[in-house]
Homo-oligomer: A and B are copies of this chain.
Amino acid sequence: MSIQQSLLDKNDRLAERNRGFFRAKKLLVLNVLSSPGSGKTTFIQKTAEALKGKLRLAVIVGDLATDNDAARLRQAGIPVVQITTGTVCHLEADMVARAAGQIDLDQVDVLVIENVGNLVCPAAYDLGEDLRVVLLSVTEGEDKPLKYPPMFHSAQVAVVTKGDLSAATGFDRAQALANLNRISHHARVFELSARTGQGMDAWLAFLIEQHAARAH
């Protein structure tokens, strides 16, 4: 067995431990993944704000450096724990377990893990999430699912973000959806703009439904 494989096996066991712990706490846990700059933080912030009074979100944020994203979320009144990875290109299950230990999970309904901005490495690391949510911003181009298949194939949810910039970027929606369908054929797809709010309702309803299915 290669060393890389052995590290992945260890991560997978710790991820299952996380999964069991989160299940006992009746949490819905999302692993949110994308390129740098696809709009993960804004998307998470708008989601938390829109669900206020319905579902309580907490966020674990992974970044190589800076706590900019954590600070943005904290300013919006969202409980957040920062993981600084240094040069590590992804989050691992044990980092998430330690960060989750700093949150009062009995006061939380949905735990959102904002992964390091990277469409490659985080695909290989299970964190114990219920759903992998991969973002594709319209500014990145329609071909990304084809070029980063492990990431898009592993996602249960795909969210096309920054929809308000579709016209300015010449985004080919039909082509993007065809590419998503080819790689992530099993994934639920949402198209939205966190900035304008367009398309957010369907996403919020989905989260409420997913949480309800786990909460009883």
Contacts and interface: CB of A to CB of B under 8 A. Distances in A.
Interface residues of A, number: 34
A161 to B, nearest CB: 11
A68 B149 CA distance: 14
This chain: copies in complex:
2
Nearest to A88: B120
A42 to B, nearest CB: 9
B89 A121 contact: yes
A125 to B, nearest CB: 12
Interface stretch (A17-25, A74-82, A103-111, A136-144): A136-144
A168 B139 CA distance: 11
A137 B89 contact: no
Given A35-B37, A120-B116, A165-B168, A143 B66 contact: yes
B35 A150 contact: no
Contacts of A117: 35, 119, 147-148
Interface in A29-67: 35-37, 63-66
A195 B3 CA distance: 45
A156 interface: no
Given A35-B117, A37-B137, A139-B162, 15 more contacts: A36-B119, A37-B139, A37-B141, A37-B144, A64-B120, A64-B148, A64-B150, A65-B149, A68-B143, A68-B146, A89-B118, A118-B118, A120-B121, A165-B169, A168-B168
